[in-house]
Each structure stands twice: as C-alpha cells, then as structure tokens.
Amino acid sequence: MKNWRNHLGLIIPILVVVGLAVWPALTDSISAREQAFTILKAVALASSLNILLGYTGYVSFGHIVFYGFGGYIGLYFLNEQGWSIWASLLIAGISAGLLAFLLGKAILRLRGGYFALATIGINEAMKALINNLDIFGGAVGMTLNFKVYKTYGGAAEALSMAFYIMAGLALASIIVSYLVRVSKFGLGLLAIRENEDAAEVMGIVAPDAKTWAYVLSAIIPGMVGMLFFFKNGNVEPHVAFPLHASIELLVMVMLGGQGTVLGPILGAFAYQGMRGYLVTSDIFKDIQLSVSGAVLLLIILFIPAGAVGWLRNRFAPLRRVLP
Amino acid sequence: MTTLLQIQGVTKRFGGLQALTDVTFNLSEGQIMGLIGPNGAGKTTLFNCINGVYTPEEGKILFQGENVTGSKTYNMARRGLARTHQIVQPLNELTVQENIMAGACFGRENHNLHNAAEIANEVMDFVGLDTRTDQLAASLNVAQKKRLEMARALAARPYLLLLDEVLAGLNPSEIGEMVETVKKIRDRGITIIMIEHVMKAVMNVSDHMLVLDYGQQIAEGTPTEIANNPQVIEAYLGDPELAKKLMGDDE
Ligand SMILES: Nc1ncnc2c1ncn2[C@@H]1O[C@H](COP(=O)(O)OP(=O)(O)OP(=O)(O)O)[C@@H](O)[C@H]1O
Ligand SMILES: [Mg+2]
C-alpha cells in the first residue's frame, strides 16, 4: 500500500460495507439492522452479477436462479441433514457455482438477447422443477426446524449472526469483484465485452473465460440465498426464484455503473433507498416495480454507463483511481 | 531458410461462391509477402482461413510444420500468429494501453499484467502512440486505430503477422510512416503477409508477392515479376482505378 490512492477503488467500497456492518450495532436498532441487511444483500448480489454483466458484457435476466438454487441446496443440508451453517453455506456456494458451470457450457455460446432470454427460461424451469421435487417440499417449500436456531444461541443470536455473515459475504463479493477487475483474467473479460471475436483473435480463450466469469458470479449469490432463507426461517419456490428480483439487480448494476467495482455498490444503496421510499409511499407502493422499470429505461437512454461510469468518462484521472 | 507457413490446396466456399480455389504457397521465415488482388478476390478470406476464423473446405494449412487447419483463432494466437483487421476492431471502452496489454497478455508469450504494461509502453513508442496511453480506443482517429491494431498484434510478439490493408485510408505521409514501421517489424525477424491495394508501397516492401483474382492464385513472384506479368495487369485492367495504381500512380 505504498500509494493508497491507487487502491481507492477497493478502500472506498470496503469502508462502505464496514460502515453498514457496524451501523446497527452503534445505533442498537433492530430496524437499522434489517435495513442494513437488505442493502448488504443487494451489494453482494449486484457485485456478483457485475462480474458477468459489467465485466464480461453478458446480460443475465435470470441471475436470481443461483440465489434460489444455492439457497435451496444449502437449506436442505442445514435443515434435513443437520450440517452446520458454515458447511451449508459452502455447499450452497459450490452448488450454485456448479450449476453456473454446467449452464455456461450450454448457453454462453449464445450472444446478446438470446443469452438473456435463455437465462429467463432457466430461472423459470428451475422454479418449476423445485416445485415438483418432494425432497425440497414441493410447492410448500421447506420450513426451518426451530432447533437449528438453538444451535446458534436462539433466534435473536442467530439473526444477529446472519447479519454479520451477510456483511462478510458483501465484503467478499467486493474483494472478488476488485481482484477480477484488476487481474489479467479481468482484462480478458473486458476484451470479450468489447469485442468477443477480436478478443479470441488476440488469444483469449473466450469460452473458458466466460464460463469462469459465470461461475464466479454465481457462487456468492448461492450463499446469499442460503443465508436469507436461514434468516427467513422458510423457503418456497416463488420466494426463491422471483424474476423481478433479477431485474432489480440489473437496475442496481446499471444505475451505479456496470463494469466498475464501486458502481454496483452505489447502485444497490440508491436502489434500496428508492425502493424503501416507494413501498412506504401511498402513491407508489403498488407500482414500485413499474417505477424500477422506468428507472432502468431512463438509465439506458441517458446514462448507459451508470453513475460511476459517467464520472469515469467525464474525469479521465478517475479511471485509474476507480477501476 | 526455414518454411514458416505452408498453404496446400486451400479452397473456401460461401454457399455457391468460390472465395478461394486451390491456393498453394510456402512462406519462409523473415520474409514480407505482399498479397494483392482486386476487391473481392479472396485476400481477407485467406487470412481468415490461416488464423482460424474459417475452416477451409479443402486443403491443409501447416504452421511451423504442424497441421493447423481448422484450429481456433485463440489457438493460432497462442502459436504465434497475430493479425490486424481490414475493418479496425478496437476494444473501444478500454484505453490504448489496455488494448495493447491484452495483446501481450494473451498472445504467444502469455505475459502477466506487469510485463504486459512494459511491452505495451515499448510498442506504443514503436508505432507512435506513446502520447495516447490513457485515451480510450474509441476516441482515436482512423490512422491511430490502424496503429493500435498493429500495436496490439506486435505486443503478442508473433512469429507471423498478417496485415490486412493497414495503409488504406491513410494520407501519403502516414503511408510513409507505416511502411517504415512495417520494415522495422521485419527487421525484428517477424514474418509478414501484407494485403494491400497501395501498389507502390507494397511493391516497395515485399520480398515476394502473390496475386489472387476471383479466388484463384494467378501469379507469384518478386515484385518486378508481378509488375510485368500480363495476367496480373489484365486482372487489374478490369478495374481501371487499380490498374492506374499498379502503374505506380498511387495518389
Ligand atoms: N462471411 C462471408 N459470407 C459470404 N460471403 C463472403 C464472406 N466473406 C467474404 N465473402 C465473399 O467472398 C469473396 C472474397 O471476399 P474477401 O473479403 O476475401 O475479399 P478481399 O480480397 O479481401 O476484398 P477487399 O479487397 O475488398 O477487401 C467476396 O465475394 C465476398 O463477398
Ligand atoms: Mg479484404
């Protein structure tokens, strides 16, 4: 850390997440913790999606499938097999990554809109499949055995622990995002985003690079899903695979700035702030998703690079500081 | 002299269109080969067959003695082949330096980012893009984008460099600079195939030339032999503009 300015792109996001993580303890407020939990969850998911969407240039409309699938698998092992929360988180991440690996082999050869469509199809197919699997409780889903909370010192303790694990996942997602962005692997992804054919001509093995980007973008969402269902105490197919949540993630990434480390974090903040306002407002509470759709449209039309991207374009020196 | 590239009976069709018919030649290490022919002759298609964008329907391509017919483009890059595109393909939202670093990182030598940055700096000096390091590739003009293509290819430190009309769209002084650059590249020991319509320039730099017309290889030889070959002149006479150029009237 000779020159701390060169690491601002990592330091700022870390400060943001650490701030969020300590804020509820400082204010000693449960509702602050709930709010912070939602934002941290959004940060973790949006930062992960950014690896695929922002760095690699592949628009996934169904990224929530990894959250749902990983979450289901993790909760199953926690609840039915008596695994610890740590082992369950691990299996949630691994199974989401594995799913991405297999899916990637099949659909990452599709480009543009075809890929986006395929990701929606996969999310819906997975929801239908889980709906019919008896070991996962079918349409009713699974309810967490109350004994599980006891293992972690009772419900209150368990929920507080879930909060700090979520902060850890958000932090991990940012560090992964940053490391990818400043690595050789990341340069290959950016090249694919800019021009996949030219990238291959330069020697970038695009099929492999894309697959690994997809896997990396899926692992943390799988763990986040598991943690969320643990905190929620139950899971049902329609809660695990909500298509609109995928789209909300896209809005966050686009709003903050796709392809930058800081962008999705700011986007998650801004979006959750807006959402919090909308769902409590009398006028907007029923049309909250329409407003999100309109926001997405406005971003695409007027600031396609997102907030951080716009700043980078405006002020060239920022390009080195905010990767 | 060792043979770097062997093209044996390469034939490529697009539906009913015969883009290349039975093209056969050998290329020795350290040479500049000029590849000329009227528009639509199949020159770019030949490049695309060599670097793996297309797989020829018939024939074989040997690179360093190994059969590479139908190899993927990225495998050809790793073997030491680099190219520029007739229609420039910059990585628009990346800086000039990042574009060139990508060439060094994923080409034959597979460098890490640190070394790639050094190679990029060196190559930027070499092609005259050193004042543009942090500029986005999208913001370059055409001549600069052509240099960028060239720089990216060079940063890969290839054995064989395929240049597709790097002089097109440049003004006479830019052409002069680019020709000097090409000669310097050859002096570094890199073998080059150069597609070009600017006849005076390509005749001037080539050790050896090959002429395509409607996918057929109609002549091969030294620049002087080619300039005096009646078949070549006839092929170009179908296109008065190019015939004029062949006669040395470039501007
Ligand atoms: N992908 C493709 N599909 C169908 N036809 C193609 C394709 N690529 C090239 N062709 C056709 O093959 C022929 C040879 O094209 P090519 O681009 O190789 O010519 P060229 O010699 O490079 O011409 P120019 O000097 O104009 O660049 C042309 O008739 C072209 O229309
Ligand atoms: Mg051509």
Mean pLDDT, rounded, for B101-107: 93
Contact state of B156 with A202 under an 8 Å Cβ cutoff? yes
Sign of the torsion formed by the C-alpha atoms of A68, A69, A71 and A72: positive
Q: What is the pLDDT of residue B173?
A: 87
Kindly list the residues from chain B whose CB atom is less than 8 angstroms away from the CB atom of residue A206: 74
Atom of ligand 1 nearest to the CA of B43: 21
Q: Tell me, yes or no, whether B34 and B118 share the same domain.
A: no
Selecting from B78, B85, B91 the residue whose C-beta is nearest the C-beta of A203 gives B78
- Mean local confidence (pLDDT), A53-73: 94
Listed in sequence order, the residues at least 6 apart from B245 whose beta carbon sits closer than 8 Å to its beta carbon are B197, B198, B199, B200, B236
Query: Is the model's pLDDT at B229 over the cut of 80?
Result: yes
- Whole-number Å distance, alpha carbon A226 to ligand 1 midpoint, is 54
Q: How far apart are the first and last CA of chain A?
A: 16
Shortest-distance atom of ligand 1 to CA B15: 4
DSSP E strand stretches across A55-164 = 142-143
> Does one domain contain both B65 and B110?
no
Residue B128 sits in the same domain as residue B231: no
Same domain, B10 and B37: yes
**pLDDT for residue A109 is more than 70:** yes
pLDDT band at A75 (very low <50, low <70, confident <90, very high): very high
Same-domain status, B110 and B90:
yes
List pLDDT tens digits, range A257-287: 889 999 999 999 888 888 888 878 777 777 7
- In whole angstroms, what is the distance from residue B17 CA to residue B23 CA? 15
Over residues B123-182, the pLDDT tens digits come to 999 888 888 888 899 999 988 999 999 999 999 999 999 999 998 888 888 888 888 889
Q: Which ligand is nearest to the Cα of residue B18, counting in written order?
A: 1
Tell me the best of B44, B48, B199 to mutate to test the pocket of ligand 1, counting ligand atoms within 8 Å of each CB and taking the most: B44
B176 and B224 part of one domain: yes
Taking only the tens place, the pLDDT of each residue in B80-97 is: 999 999 999 999 999 999
- What is the spatial order of strands in the sheet that B191-195 belongs to? B81-83, B160-164, B191-195, B32-36, B208-213, B216-221
Task: Compute the mean pLDDT over every residue in chain B, rounded to the nearest whole number.
Answer: 90
Write the DSSP symbol of residue B12: E
Determine the average pLDDT of the residues in A120-124: 93
State the ipTM, two decimals.
Answer: 0.90
The tokens for A12 are 């700022």
Count CB-CB contacts under 10 A for residue A262: 26
Q: In what order do the strands lie in the sheet with B17-28?
A: B17-28, B3-14, B58-63, B66-67
pLDDT at B246: 61
Band the pLDDT of B65: cuts 50, 70, 90: very high
Q: How would residue B250 be classed by pLDDT, with cut points 50, 70 and 90? A: very low
One domain, residues B75 and B183:
yes
Q: What is the CA B121 to chain-centroid distance, rounded?
A: 22
Which pTM value belongs to this model?
0.91
Domain count, chain A: 1
| A298-309 mean pLDDT | 79
CB contact under 8 A, B91 and A205: no
- Judged by a CB distance cut-off of 8 A, whether residue B156 touches chain A is yes
Among B132, B154, B176, residue at a domain's last position: B154
Q: What is the per-residue pLDDT for A4? A: 65
In ligand 1, the atom with minimum distance to the C-alpha of B165 is: 27
Could you tell me the CATH number of the domain that includes residue A150?
Answer: 1.10.3470
Distance between CA A57 and CA A49 in Å, rounded? Answer: 11
Query: Cβ(B176)–Cβ(B224) under 8 Å?
Result: no
Residue nearest to atom 1 of ligand 1 (CA): B14
Whether residue A95 has pLDDT greater than 60: yes
Q: Which of A234-238, A289-293, B216-220 has the lowest mean pLDDT?
A: A289-293
Taking the C-alpha atoms of residue A99 and residue A109, their distance in angstroms, rounded to an integer, is 16
| Residue in A with minimal Cα distance to B83 | A201
By DSSP bridging, strand B216-221 and strand B66-67 are unpaired
Q: Is the CB of B168 under 6 A from ligand 1?
A: no
Range A115-119 contact pairs with CB under 8 angstroms and sequence separation of 24 or more: A115/A58, A115/A59, A115/A60, A116/A59, A116/A60, A116/A61, A117/A61, A119/A60, A119/A61, A119/A62, A119/A63, A119/A65, A119/A246
pLDDT for the residue B237: 64
Whether residues B169 and B251 share a domain: the answer is yes
Residues of A in contact with B134 (CB under 8 A): 316, 319-320
DSSP B95: B
Extract the tokens encoding B145.
Answer: 């984008």
Same domain, B231 and B177: yes
Q: Do B74 and A194 touch (CB under 8 A)?
A: no
Say yes or no: CB of residue B17 within 6 Å of ligand 1.
Answer: yes
| pLDDT surpasses 60 at A1 | no
The domain spanning residue B214 has which CATH number? Answer: 3.40.50.300
Ligand nearest to the CA of B235: 1
Asked if the model's pLDDT at residue A135 lies above 80, the reply is yes
Cβ of B41 closer than 6 Å to ligand 1, yes or no, is: yes
Query: Pick from B126, B154, B182: which residue ends a domain?
Result: B154
The pLDDT, as a whole number, for residue B193 is 96
- Please tell me which of the candidates A194, A203, A206 has its beta carbon nearest to residue B94: A194
Q: pLDDT for A18-40, tens place per residue?
A: 999 998 888 888 888 999 999 99
Last residue of a domain, one of B96, B119, B154: B154
Number of domains within chain B: 2
Strands B208-213 and B216-221 turn out to be: antiparallel
What integer pLDDT is reported at residue B56 of this predicted model?
Answer: 96
Phi, psi of B90 (to 5 degrees): -70, 155
Structure confidence at residue A10 as a pLDDT band (50, 70, 90): confident
Cβ–Cβ contact A190 with B under 8 A:
yes
Q: Does B148 share its domain with B185?
A: no
Pairing mode, strands B66-67 and A142-143: unpaired
Task: Let me know whether B185 and B72 are in one domain.
Answer: yes
Q: Could you list the residue range(s) of the whole structural domain that residue A228 is in?
A: 2-319
Q: Taking residues A171-186, report their average pLDDT.
A: 95
The per-residue pLDDT for A214 is 97
In the chain, the amino acid numbered A301 is L
Whether B170 and B248 map to the same domain: the answer is yes
Residue B230: which domain range? 1-80+159-251
Whether the CB of B147 is below 8 Å from some CB of chain A: the reply is no
Rounded mean pLDDT of B97-121?
93
User: Using DSSP, how many helices (H) and how many strands (E) does chain A show?
Assistant: 16, 2
- What is the phi/psi pair of residue B96, to 5°? -55, -45
**Alpha carbon A15 to its chain's center:** 19
Both tokens of B73, joined, read 């483009």
